[in-house]
Each structure stands twice: as structure tokens, then as C-alpha cells.
Amino acid sequence: MLFSNRMIAMRTCPIVSVCALLIAAAAALSPALAQRRAEPTPEDAFLAARDAVKVGQREKLALMSERFKGHALEMYGPYWQTLPLKGEAAEAAQSEFLRNYDKSYLAERVRMDLAKTLAKREAWDAFDAERAKITADDLEISCFTLLRRHQKKDDSAVREALPLWLTPKELPEGCVTLSEALLADSRLIDRHVWERIRVLVDAGLPNAARRTADYLPDNQALDQRQFETAYGQPEKFLKRGIDGRTRAQRELILIALGRWAKNDPAEAAAFWSRHGKKPFNETEHQWGWAQIGYQASRKLMSEADAWFNEASEIQLSDEYLQWMVRAALRARDWKLVLRAVKDMSPAVRRDPAWTYWLARALREQGKAEDARVLFESIAADFSFYGQLAAGELDRPTVIPPIGFKPSKDDMELIAATPGFQRALTLYRLGMRTEATREWVWTIRGMDDKQLIAAATLARQNDLPDRAINTADKTALLHDFSLRFLSPHAEQVRPKAKELGLDDAWVYGLMRQESRFITSAKSVVGASGLMQLMPATARWVAKKVGLKDYHHGQVNDLDTNITLGTSYLKIVHDELYNHPVLASAAYNAGPGRPRRWRDIKPMEAAIFAESIPFNETRDYVKKVMSNATFYAALFSGKPQSLKDRLAPIPPRRGDDKASDTP
């Protein structure tokens, strides 16, 4: 570059002295220009620091952190520098970070790490001080807090610890410490140990169950070899005739029974009918039937209701009770629905789903006024069951008026919020996970006006998922044009009309699939606005005659909409033009909703609630709820979710097989 500058100067300068000056200036400036070009921008330095963290280059991390001081993301440098530290050095660095960058998302993470460290070395006064400032839920922090209260002889800590003890997963160190303290003080006893073993076996965590068995007293010790057989070869274990004289032997039989029921509920039920009395006590006998009913209900077997009824007098977990309700709904056993919902924990029972079904059960039992009160309690909820409850009260779905429009000053104020500045910068740099965490932390505690302003900011920055999720949180003031965005209308609505699809339903599905992020990619490989799997996209492309299609086109907006709506049309036509079945098919494949039907017509809400896949069950309910709101927005007229939920046609012997993926 220097040589080039000199040659230009010599060719264009008629006066030798002037040329000499120009050449000298070029020679002097070129190193400075080169140096400036070599210096990274603050965002380049940030990305280099992030990469240095990943490979443990602490010196480079420190150097790069200096180079983005004063930037919106400045705090990430000091935060990353705390991560490899241990012991006193870590505590000192974390405390320094909190002094400099308090009241931020990263400060919350640092404070939780610091609080856990303090608890582990029993610096309880310092732990209490930090714990009081933590707003996020964290299982291990909760356990340390309960341990502290237990040490202070707070009896309520034991009651609150029991649900944590029965969490169906491996417990973090703080929860293990709490559990061992409660066991040592006989506040957890052998009965509680067996309950946790059962929960872990149900969750498919045999190693955790074996470790939990170490807490049993010697006279109830679990034979590890027999446990392995009971868990891994349950039919073999049960058929070889293990006696049940001890608690441990009976529990092994019950473990094997539950494992057998997971594979073949009918065979397990036949075995339990023959062998489920003596030497088992009544609680153990009913627990055996509960396991069989639970596994049968997850397979949508019609016998599940009867088997659950054999376990109607023992306390069951919320998980079992929810499946008891689903089995009872399919059997139209409203008495069992009533019993199961009433037995749920208060927190679970308050969910609109169980409030709605409890109200339905009460009405079926002739308690119309009690039912009406419960319908009223959730009818204003903008959810699937809120809409159904409103329908039971003859109230259609209407779009609430826009409660607040942010002014220019409101927008400038919200845009200046440091958390949003960090989030927007991280989104721009492609760090979506970190950006979303910053955004979610920043909107906590905001009032409705601030939330609407934040949602507007997200829409202005082409972040439809943040706009929707933020607007969804308003309580009294709403803007449903933000909650239910409808981008790409010039592509989506004509295509829906061409295929004879309800555009409100198409938008309801897209909202649930991708939140309108055109580049979205799921963990299983689904891509684009309508989240198409590679094999499905290829199949549909061939089916609709899309020539020269290759998977690189799947994120192209027009291609994705064409393939997604075409697939939706195919499954809709195959599944009796029923949007509930087609929605389930779009998420789980068309073969499954065919099998999930009953031999008789079924209420669509019952079908949706009893879908055996958690993701698909939630998905179908939200798609149908979304579609109702979109229809109200598009038409400007009141709508009814119930009108979209025609009865599900029964399974028939002449149902044709399909090659649709």
C-alpha cells in the first residue's frame, strides 16, 4: 500500500517539492492506518474474549476484556474472568463483580454461585445476606435455604423440603446435604426413602434409585442384584416367585410390576389380579394398581380408568393424579375426575386445566353453581382453558382494546435500559441464548406499560419472539397486535387461501412453531418459519412438484411457507378436515393422532388433554387457542374456541394407511 501511494504521488505532482511532501506524509500515515486497521473494534474484542474463555486462554481474555471497556457488554469480561477461579480467589472476584455490576442478569448468576459457595463452607450469615438479594428460583439455593431454617429449628422447613426430596431427578449437592441432615434428625424416615426410590424408578433413573437405597436401615436393605433384575427384566423377576415377607422384597416386586406395566399393562394387571393381595398391605396393593393405571393411561388404554379406580384411596403424586384425570375423562368417569383433581397439590390444582375439568365434573355431579364459580375464576385467562371456561358462560373470545401506546419518550427510555442494550447487541452478534436471558431478566418486575414498550422495542428490532413473549406478560393493559403478530401476510394469507386453509389457524400454528423467526432451527433439526424436518420437506417438495429442491432452500421464506402450508393441507385432508387432529399431526406425525382416537366419538378438548406426549399436548392446545385470537383479530368479530373443537371422529377398521411422514 505504501509503494502504491508513492507511485500515485509521483505521477500526479508537477512540483517536485510538493511531491516530496506528499510522499513523506503517505509514508508517515501508512503505519498509523495499518495499526488502526489491526486494532479490533470493541465487539471484535468481545467475541475474541468469548472465544478465549472457551479454550482457557486467561491472558488473552484479560487483554481483550480491556479493549471493550465502556461498551454495553463491558461486564462480560470481568464475569468471564471469575469463572475459572476457585476458593477465596473466586469469592473475592465475585464480590468485586457484584460491587461494580450489581442489579444485572450476570450479577444474579454470580450471586447464586457465591451464595452456594458460602453455604458449602457454612458461612451462613454471608449466605443469608446474598440469598436475600436473589430473585430467581434455583433448586440448590432453595435447599440451602431450607437447611439453614432447619438448623434454626423451623419445623415448616421440613414440610417444604419433602416436595424437593421427591423431585424426579438427581439432586444437586445442596439438596443432598439437606436430605442427609433431615435423615440424621429422623425428619425423613424409611417411608420417605421408599417414596423417592419409587419416583426415581418411574423417571427411569435406576442409578439414582440405587444410591437413594443406601439411606435405608439395615433391616430394609435393597439387594442390588435383585434390583437390577426387577428393573431390567421385570417379567422374569416376577415369574420366578420372589416372596414378600420383608418390606424390601415387596418393594422389589412393586418396582418390577411398574416396569412390566410400562411395557404391557394388561399382562401386569393379570399378574396383579392373581398375586396382589397377601402378603401386601392395602396401601401396597393399591400402589400396584396405581402404577398399572398410570402406565395404561399413558398408552390411552380404555382399562386405565378401572385400574385407577382400584387405587382410589391412597395419596398419589400430582403426576399420577393428572393422568388419572385424563383416563377418567376418556371414560367419562366424572366421579374419578372430581376425586383426582381434589387430591392434587394446591399449586397444581390452580392450573386453569384442572380448574376447568373440576368445574365440569362438579356440573356433572349436579353442582352447577359451584361449577359456575370455578368457570368465572379462569374465564378472563387468555388460554385454551380460559377460553373454554368463557364459552361455558356464553362469553365469546374478543380482542381487548389497546390499553397503552408508548410515546416517543417512553420508547427512548425503554431503549436506554442497559439490559435491553446488552440484549440487542448480543442478538446482533448472533448470541441468541445469552441475549434472550438478558431480555427475560430485564423485563422481570416491569408493569404493563413498560412491557408494552419493551415488546414494541422488540418488534422494531425484528425480534418477533421477544415481542410476543413480552406482550404475553401484561396483566391489565394489553396490545394484542403485539401478542399475536402476523408478519409475512403477503406470502402467508394468499397461500392459505389458495390451499383452502383457515389463515387464522395457519398463523396460530406458525406462532407456536417458530414465533416467526425465519431462521429458527430446533434441536432435532426442524428449520424455518414452519419448522420443517429435512425428510418431510423433501417429501412435500416432491409431492407438490417443487423442482430442483434442495435442503438449503428450507429457510427461504417463500419456500418454507409453500412447503409448510402444503404439508398442513395434506394432513388436514387426511385427518377428516379436523384442525385438532391436523395440528397434532404437524407436531407428532399423522400416524399418532389416528391411534390416539377412541372407538367412539370424543370431545376434542378431552382428546387434546389426553395426548400422551407432553410437547404435543401443549402444542395443540396453544395452536387452537392462538387460532381463535387470530380469527378475532383478522375479522374484527367475536369468536368461539368451542366452535373450532368439533367432536373427534372414532377409529374405524377401514382407516387407510398413509405414507405421509
146-182 in b/e form (b: 16+ CB < 10 A) is bbbbbeeeeeebbeebeebbeebeebeebbebbbebb
DSSP code of 75? Answer: T
Residue type, 551: H
For the cut 90, the answer to whether the pLDDT of residue 39 exceeds it is no
Residue type, 388: L
The pLDDT, as a whole number, for residue 28 is 52
Quick one: average pLDDT of 201-224? 96
CA 576 to chain centre: 31
Q: Are 560 and 530 in contact, with CB atoms under 8 Å apart?
A: yes
Give the separation between CA 203 and CA 153, rounded to whole angstroms. Answer: 33
Q: Are 543 and 477 in contact, with CB atoms under 8 Å apart?
A: no
For the cut 80, the answer to whether the pLDDT of residue 59 exceeds it is yes
> Quick one: angle between helices 352-364 and 334-343, nearest 10?
140
* Residue 428 CB contacts under 8 Å (≥ 6 apart), including other chains: none
Q: Rg for the chain (alpha carbons), in Å? A: 31
The pLDDT, as a whole number, for residue 400 is 97
The pLDDT, as a whole number, for residue 22 is 42
Other C-beta atoms lying within 10 Å of the C-beta of residue 572? 24
Quick one: average pLDDT of 426-447? 97
Give the separation between CA 11 and CA 7, rounded to whole angstroms. Answer: 6
Quick one: average pLDDT of 557-578? 97
Which of 232-246, 425-439, 450-464 is predicted least confidently? Answer: 232-246
Give the separation between CA 326 and CA 294, rounded to whole angstroms. Answer: 10
Q: Which of 290, 348, 289, 350 is nearest to 318 (CA)?
A: 348
The predicted-structure confidence for 574-598, as pLDDT tens digits, reads as follows 999 999 999 999 999 999 999 999 9
pLDDT band at 15 (very low <50, low <70, confident <90, very high): very low
Give the separation between CA 281 and CA 251, rounded to whole angstroms. Answer: 12
The predicted-structure confidence for 367-412, as pLDDT tens digits, reads as follows 999 999 999 999 999 999 999 999 999 999 999 999 999 999 999 9
Quick one: average pLDDT of 417-429? 98
Quick one: average pLDDT of 34-43? 70
Give bridge partners of residue 532 from the DSSP assignment: 527
pLDDT band at 16 (very low <50, low <70, confident <90, very high): very low
The pLDDT, as a whole number, for residue 47 is 98
Which residue is listed with cell 448472533?
430
Quick one: average pLDDT of 44-62? 97
Give the separation between CA 357 and CA 621, rounded to whole angstroms. Answer: 15
3-state DSSP percent of the chain in helix, strand and coil, to 5: 70, 0, 30
Which of 170-174, 239-243, 254-258 is predicted least confidently? Answer: 239-243
pLDDT band at 243 (very low <50, low <70, confident <90, very high): confident
Which of 10-19, 132-141, 175-184 is predicted least confidently? Answer: 10-19
For the cut 80, the answer to whether the pLDDT of residue 35 exceeds it is no
The predicted-structure confidence for 70-128, as pLDDT tens digits, reads as follows 999 999 999 999 999 999 999 999 999 999 999 999 999 999 999 999 999 999 999 99
DSSP code of 316? Answer: -
Which of 6-10, 104-108, 221-225, 273-277 is predicted least confidently? Answer: 6-10
- The whole-chain average pLDDT of the chain stands at 93
CA 17 to chain centre: 74
Give the separation between CA 415 and CA 460, rounded to whole angstroms. Answer: 11
pLDDT band at 654 (very low <50, low <70, confident <90, very high): low
Quick one: average pLDDT of 464-483? 98
Q: Are 97 and 82 in contact, with CB atoms under 8 Å apart?
A: yes
pLDDT band at 67 (very low <50, low <70, confident <90, very high): very high
- Angle among Cα 558, 560, 565 to the nearest 5 degrees reads 100
Backbone angles phi, psi at 145, to 5 degrees: -65, -45
What does pTM read for this prediction?
0.92
